[in-house]
A and B are shown apart, each in its own frame.
Chain A
Amino acid sequence: MATIHVDGRAYEVVGSHNLLQACLSLGLDVPYFCWHPAMGSVGACRQCAVKQYKDEDDTQGMLVMSCMAPVEEAMRVSIDDEEAYEFRRSVIEWLMANHPHDCPVCEEGGHCHLQDMTVMTGHARRRYRFRKRTHRNQDLGPFIAHEMNRCITCYRCVRFYRDYAGGEDLGAFGSNDNVYFGRYREGALESAFSGNLTEVCPTGVFTDRTHSDHYVRKWDLQFAPSICHQCAVGCNTSPGERYGDIRRIENRYHGEVNGYFLCDRGRFGHGYVNRDDRPRRPEWRNVGEASATPLEVDAALDRGADALRRARRIIGIGSPRASLESNHQLRELVGEANFSSGVVAAEQACLSRMARLARESGLPAPSLREVEAHDAILVLGEDPLQSAARLGLALRRAVLARGEVLAEARDIPAWNAEAVMTLAQGARHPLFIAYPAATGLDSLAEHHLALAEENIARLGFAVAHAIDDRAPAVDDLDESTREAARRIAEALLDAQRPLVVSGGSLASPAILDAAGNIARALAGRRRRGGLTLVRREANSTGVELLGGHPLEWALDELSRGAADALVVLENDLYQRLPRAPVDRALEASALVVVLDHQRTPTWQRAHLGLPAASFAEASGTLVSLEGRAQRFFAVHEPRYHRPESRIHSSWRWLHALEATLEHRQASDVGLETVIRACADRHPALAAIIDAAPGNDYRIEGLELARAPHRYSGRTAMRAHLDVSEPRPPSDADTPFVFSMEGYSGSDRPRSLVAFAWAPGWNSPQAWNKFTDEVGGHLRGGDPGVRVLEPGSRERSHERSHGRSHERSSESGYATEVPAAFAARDGEWRVVILPRLFGGEETSSLSAAIAARAGASTLTLAADDARRLGVTEGDSLSLETADTRRNLPLRVDPLLPPGLVAVPAGVDPALASGDSARLALPDSMGVETP
């Protein structure tokens, strides 16, 4: 800590900060452009000038750039000094000399850092009377719109895109007055984090193209704190709604998880909630009929309850993309013995192993901020940039943090970004990746081992053995793998904080066992390491904690007539298993009730369809891969703009259905009640009550506002329906109100922030007003609570499957080392690779993601392609026991021979481990999707 004097007042600040960080952390307003809390200082824009004085007697002082001035003890500075103020005003006047007269037609207007800074510095009237330079724009793909005229050349975009996120296709071109930020050629931005440019860019050069299609200013959006449902990382988001549709997703700062950045799937993958074909009313479909009749809520519940009452036994299929509350309510409805988690057996075996490792391996699952603090990383069988992209970005930061270590040794502060980069010269912490195909992190890796899944597991077992002799050794390991294992073990042992990353992407329990062994071995050596295990879906971790049979079990029970009614919760069974068994099970059941927010093929087979709320309309709790239970809140009430809509949260539907079934009055149930019931029923989830403040939470006696105080059009937005506007919908489930009439300020610490706004700060930079120090934690505490901690052995129940055939030694090491993979002649092993765009069910239904996903390919090793006599781009026919499909070929020189890689989301009938035959498609009779 150090004491500094700002405009005559003494403040305590962090000694390692620069002056700008210190002032912003104190809540003082200093304008800036090129500095960003996550990217440090370069001192390029000259906007943050302040006066620094030598001592008490110095009245003259000198101008310094506060972002480049380290905090010193007893430092005296002035922000309000007239010369400094005048300097800052002039700087922005120069920056604005070429800025177009665009604000009314600019998507950034209203949350624009440049607007904020212009107002803050007092520049109001244009004096420059000469001509403005102009630029041509580029088409940067479906996510990002480009308008180069607005650029003020702060270089933040390339510093984020290239230096921070590792993108290579965006750069600075030209010189002096002609600097241009764009791609060498027009085309979609390749980085998975391009969406952050819209928040990083202080002006409107890079804007959200999906938002522009149905644009609304930030002040007109209704927000709520939400959790991204597109993967298991659990990034915090702020979806904004207007006129009944989600218009954009903004990053919601979380000090431990996502920080300032989201991946593009999370930011742009929300389009499915706005689809016109979404079910909005209950539907009844008679047996054998294709079309359905819409029903009112009571009629739907009565019919559903009548039919369920007639059933001998009801099976419930839950979902890893639904909230804990909804899954719990379904389990209550059908009973524990009849509840399936909705996850296929292979995946569930991995999930239960992961939950066990999280408790028993001895290494904790780090948050993303902690991931960035690890100094040696082994990735076993995961491609984090595809399966959990935000984690991939954190891994990149961790590897490059070596530069900061080097800088510290030379007394260069970590915020001095250019100096650290120059010193580091690309120095990296060791990263090892074992994955069958090329990954986006390969360029940072010390060694990429392209191996088949058994061999990845064997490598992992060998690494564990090299760290700890008691771990099982691997027999007849080839020399190169043995050598690699030795090197990896050495690097992990040399590190202060080694990190093992693995997961269920390759659906291989053996890889998880291996990762678990390494974690145990490291924990035995008392390393402060971490074990990050990647799950596939938003609530995979949570559903595993609830327990339940695998999906195949549920289908078997129905097919063999042991049950005759089925309730499916937000789950498209056809996405998980081949058509035939699902069809068989659905045909065998006399009643199929489906709750979903999408018109999925499963919904089309339902006798009763109940329109469920998506994350935009429902509140609930998800558990992220880190084991953090986080609450998401309904953004809007669907009936306000679409009075005909009968969308309700799944847990509310299921509660009402249960009550109707038991001839009770279906009293309304509150979220609090369901959360409490869920926590009581599952001791492992007891902590979820504390995941967020309850519905009686108030600040200064006020509820929390969902909308900014400038929210416009309240007496006109619904006037075409009825000129007498109804009162805003009430929300008994959460402390939020569906209007601006509540607390939305930054002066009281709180963890529930629907949107960041502070007086004078309309852009995302307003988050600095909510954090304890810039880039730190929310002053009210980071949201969420951890429910999966090492050592927490309590379990709701022990499951028979998955565990029975796992053998482990006394020290807890898994002992089943798989045999090495051997390629078989004329037969290929299918391996499904996770895919960021198009590899996830709901986000693939969004137009922008579908456009970005591009064509699906199948990938072969170069040798295999040569042997088959095919080259890249040729169409190949892939045939397994369940399906046959034609796909264009891509050749990956890294892929081990004998494997054929297919991206996720192409064909649910394909699963990792299937054996497939490949052939050139014959001219006729080939089935296409």
Chain B
Amino acid sequence: MRLSLFSAIGSQLRTLGIVFAHAFRRRETVCYPEEDVYLPPRYRGRIVLTRDPDGEERCVACNLCAVACPVDCIALEKAEAQDGRWYPGFFRINFSRCIYCGLCEEACPTSAIQLTPDFEMSEYRRQELVYEKHDLLIDGPGKDPEYRFYAVAGLAIAGKDKGQAKDEKAPVDVRTLMP
């Protein structure tokens, strides 16, 4: 009985001590918005579409991000440029539905869609949270600075003929009799 009384009082004092000690710890809250928030580089916030090192749109409109999206908030449509590249004719993300899970980024085979450390997207009107391609597209390559999808894909585009992609032989001459 006496023992439990002592341990109870001890526990109370220890708790008070810990609470009191916090007064001297470094503060975790920041005075947002006066002070900037530190977000780690891999924080999953606002989604962007990146460009490859040559400044070309990376997205090839393969639709994998859209199908991976658990809330179905990505819609896009393929278009084809004069040079043979696929690109999204439109690309729309409804951020009022987005849960920032990052599955689109994981699904993306061309490193085009990326989540960035930015959460400051509040709007007074929900309609403004619908982002079109020109809202999403940025000028840089983002997290994967070197990757060029068309350098490894077999599809020929202007400036990269058949056989010029990575690990490709020159096109076969089907009319030759040589083995």
Contacts and interface: CB of A to CB of B under 8 A. Distances in A.
Given A105-B86, A136-B162, A714-B72, A723 B96 contact: yes
Interface string B105-135: 0000110000000000000001101101000
Contacts of B77: 214-216, 242-243
B71 interface: yes
Nearest to A219: B67
Contacts of B71: 715
Interface string A632-648: 00000000000000000
A132 B72 contact: no
Interface in B122-173: 126-127, 129-130, 132, 149, 152-156, 162-163, 165, 167-172
Interface in A118-153: 129-137, 147, 149-150
A918 to B, nearest CB: 45
B94 A716 contact: yes
A717 interface: yes
Interface stretch (B15-23, B25-33, B36-44, B56-64): B56-64
A174 B177 CA distance: 8
B167 A130 contact: yes
A215 B92 contact: no
A715 B94 contact: yes
B106 to A, nearest CB: 14
Q: What is the size category of the interface that chain A forms with chain B?
A: 35 or more
B49 interface: no
Interface string B68-112: 010111111110100000100000111011000000000001100
A248 to B, nearest CB: 13
Given A134-B169, A176-B179, A149 B174 contact: no
A102 B155 contact: yes
Interface string A207-234: 0000011111101100000000000000
B66 interface: yes
B67 A180 contact: no
Given A100-B155, A104-B64, A105-B155, A716 B172 contact: no
Nearest to B154: A100
Nearest to A717: B75
A207 to B, nearest CB: 12
Of A103, A220, A719, most B-chain CB atoms within 10 Å:
A719
Contact of B109 (A103, A137, A175, A182): A103
A312 interface: no
Interface string A722-736: 111000000000000
Given A132-B168, A134-B170, A722 B127 contact: yes
A174 B109 CA distance: 33
Contacts of A182: 174
A100 B110 CA distance: 15
Q: What is the size category of the interface that chain B forms with chain A?
A: 35 or more
B28 to A, nearest CB: 35
Contact of A174 (B165, B169, B174): B174
A109 interface: yes
Interface string A428-468: 00000000000000000000000000000000000000000
Contacts of B132: 720
A220 B61 CA distance: 13
A102 B80 contact: no
A104 B110 CA distance: 8
B94 A132 contact: no
A104 B112 CA distance: 12
A710 interface: yes
A130 B168 CA distance: 8
A272 B54 CA distance: 40
A66 B78 CA distance: 40
B155 A147 contact: yes
B168 A131 contact: yes
Contact of B67 (A214, A712, A716): A712
Contact of B75 (A176, A212, A716, A723): A716
Contacts of B92: 716-717, 719-720
Given A132-B154, A136-B171, A175-B179, A712 B126 contact: no
A716 B93 CA distance: 6
Nearest to B178: A178
B96 to A, nearest CB: 6
- In the complex, the 5 A-B pairs of residues with the closest C-beta atoms, listed nearest first: A100-B154, A713-B75, A104-B62, A716-B75, A712-B66
Given A102-B154, A104-B149, 14 more contacts: A135-B162, A137-B162, A149-B154, A174-B172, A176-B179, A219-B67, A220-B66, A715-B94, A716-B92, A716-B130, A717-B75, A722-B127, A723-B127, A723-B129
13 contacts: A101-B154, A102-B155, A104-B110, A105-B60, A131-B169, A149-B162, A178-B172, A215-B61, A712-B69, A715-B71, A715-B72, A719-B73, A719-B94
